[in-house]
Amino acid sequence: MKFNCLRRWREPRFSIRKLFNAAFVIREDGKFVEANSHLVSLLKYPSEKMLMERNYFLEILKGEDIEELKRETISEGISERTVMLKNINGQIIPAIQYLIPLSIKKTNVVFYGFLFPVERDLLRMIIAHPDVKVIYEAVNPLLSLTELKDFFSTLARIVFSFLYCDRISIIERRKEEGKTVVISVEGVNAEAICEKESNEEGSLAGFVFRMGKPLEIVDGTPEAEEFSKFLLKSDIKSTFIVPIYFRNEPYLAVCINRLQPLRFTSYEKEFLTFLCYQAGIVYQRLRFYEELKRWNSAIFQVFCRALSIKDKYTKEHSEITSQLAGEIAKELNLDPITQKNLMYGAMLHDLGKLIIESSILGKKGPLNENEWEVMRHHPIVGAELVEDIPEMEMIRRIILQHHERLNGTGYPYGLTAENIPLESRIMAVVDVFHATTSDRPYRKAKSVEQAIEEMKRDEGLDQNVVNALIRVLKRKGILK
């Protein structure tokens, strides 16, 4: 097959309306099934409806042997030729026409077609037809991204949906190393160039990075001669590269290729340049967000390390209760943010133990009343340590209430069921479960079965949560 991108034309959700080229779908007899706004504009029809009442073969395409054209298209899977079109005023418009047979049954053939006008005046006419809705549709998936890992694939999907091209690659500039690296590529021969490293001096992308401006190279044009030293021997005949800025410097480049020596229309170039400008803003936002997440996680790790230095048991206790709390949250179908908060909350729930003397924490034997007084204070101290961070409000509550019990027998405030939110009830259950099944200086660990039996009888614990814990333990093979 000549064009890799033809595959997409056969996908049911692919719409010619989105393409930035004049495009149409016709029946075998030439009757329009669909025409996009660029074709309407190219042929100067006042509306899509009026154009679709015409017959493409009889009234628009001039001087062609239609039967021969159809035969060639069907036998080759595609036909490519320079044709003459007639617009509504009878003027002749030269264009390169591609026809692709869609469904071939004995009695039913449909052709997809797309056209590249070959005169500059006509290109200008197409440029004068900006479709704001289409541009909005195109950019929207990029603007709504929240994860950096989805950035490159989303950008490639947009380009493939809206521009006619056979390959898209995204190239990263590694300025300190003087290199450019292809970090993402889709389309023909993608494997051949993926992760390819080049010296910035000797690569086309490197030239674009240094210039900071888009560049088009089409085989057989003077520019292609000028840049021939950069061009590798390949089947690519048209290239358009646009830089994406990050921290005020060109940092990424989007490179689109065609296997045919077809110039990119001004509309296509403007669209990709606009898309890359937007992509730069989105990329910057996602990178900052990633950095913020890394910072949060680093600060969080500092808390956890402080706890583990204080007491080895508390480290293990925090990690295991965090895992279990996350599993129970999933089991109860809680939303992802609550799941995450519960896992963080469990990691930090005993943060207040930082102020408890090791002699009390590790005491072999029962605590006296004074020691219990200190111990009962640890949820308040832990909650105070994070109280100035608004984003940690749910975590603060989990820390503060993890020793509260539904029947009012808990501490520090003796809250009752109606005042204890689900997250804190989950924390209480996993806390009791792990503490009961662990060896402590003052008593031996109980078995999982014994712990669960005791918890089932405990009126201070939420039995829905205990049941969810049982399901999780059974699924993991910890409980029969």
Binding site for Fe ion (CB under 5 A): 350, 431
The residue whose two tokens read 């001087």 is: 63
Closest separation in Å from C-beta 349 to Fe ion:
5
Instruction: Name the minimum Å distance from CB 280 to Fe ion.
Output: 47
Q: Residue 134 and residue 464: Cα distance in Å, rounded?
A: 50
The residue (of 203 and 322) whose beta carbon lies closer to Fe ion is 322
Report in angstroms how near the CB of residue 442 gets to Fe ion at its nearest. Answer: 15
**Phi and psi angles of residue 235, each rounded to the nearest 5 degrees, phi first:** -85, 5
Dihedral, 72, 77, 80, 81 alpha carbons, nearest 10: 20
243-246, long-range: CB within 8 Å, 24+ apart, which pairs?
243/208, 243/209, 243/212, 243/213, 243/214, 243/276, 244/276, 244/279, 244/280, 244/283, 245/212, 245/280, 246/280, 246/283, 246/284, 246/287
Residue 4 in tokens: 């890799």
User: Residue 310 phi/psi, 5° resolution?
Assistant: -65, -45
Distance of alpha carbon 283 from alpha carbon 278, whole angstroms: 9
By beta-carbon proximity to Fe ion, the closer residue of 172 and 404 is 404
The least CB distance from residue 345 to Fe ion, in Å, is: 11
CB closer to Fe ion, 46 vs 366: 366
Q: Which residue, 295 or 372, has its beta carbon nearer to Fe ion?
A: 372
Question: Is residue 199 within 8 Å of 206, Cβ to Cβ?
Answer: yes
Adjacency order of strands within the sheet including 249-258: 197-199, 179-187, 167-174, 249-258, 238-246, 215-218
Closest approach of Fe ion to the CB of residue 177, in Å:
48
3-state SS assignment for residue 128? coil
DSSP E strand stretches across 46-141: 61-62, 79-86, 92-104, 109-117
CB of 403 to Fe ion, least distance (A): 6
| Closest of 220, 215, 222, 223 to residue 239, by C-alpha | 215
Rounded to a whole number of angstroms, the minimum distance from the CB of residue 382 to Fe ion is 8
Residue 431 or 462 with smaller CB distance to Fe ion: 431
Of the pair 115, 426, the CB lying nearest Fe ion is at 426
Shortest CB 374 distance to Fe ion, Å: 13
Q: How far is the CB of 457 from Fe ion (least distance, A)?
A: 21
Alpha helices in 311-443 (DSSP H): 312-331, 336-348, 358-361, 369-376, 378-386, 393-401, 422-436
Which residue, 134 or 325, has its beta carbon nearer to Fe ion?
Answer: 325
Which is closer to Fe ion, CB of 268 or CB of 431?
431
CB atoms closer than 10 angstroms to residue 184: 19
| Euclidean distance between the first and the last CA atom of the chain, given in angstroms as a whole number | 58
Q: How far is the CB of 401 from Fe ion (least distance, A)?
A: 11
Token readout for 112 is: 């997809």
Distance CA 184, CA 182 (A): 6
Give min distance, CB of 185 to Fe ion, in A. 50
Nearer to Fe ion, 272 or 361 (CB): 361
The DSSP secondary-structure symbol of 60 reads I
Nearer to Fe ion, 284 or 323 (CB): 323
Is residue 426 within 8 A of residue 464, CB to CB? The reply is no
Q: Are 436 and 454 in contact (CB under 8 A)?
A: yes
CB of 387 to Fe ion, least distance (A): 17
What is 219-254 written as a DSSP string?
TTSHHHHHTTTTPPSSS--EEEEEEEEETTEEEEEE
Identity of the residue, 166 or 431, whose beta carbon is nearer to Fe ion in the bound complex: 431
Cβ distance to Fe ion smaller for residue 166 or 350:
350
Q: Which of 102, 112, 116 shows the shortest CA–CA distance to 26?
A: 112
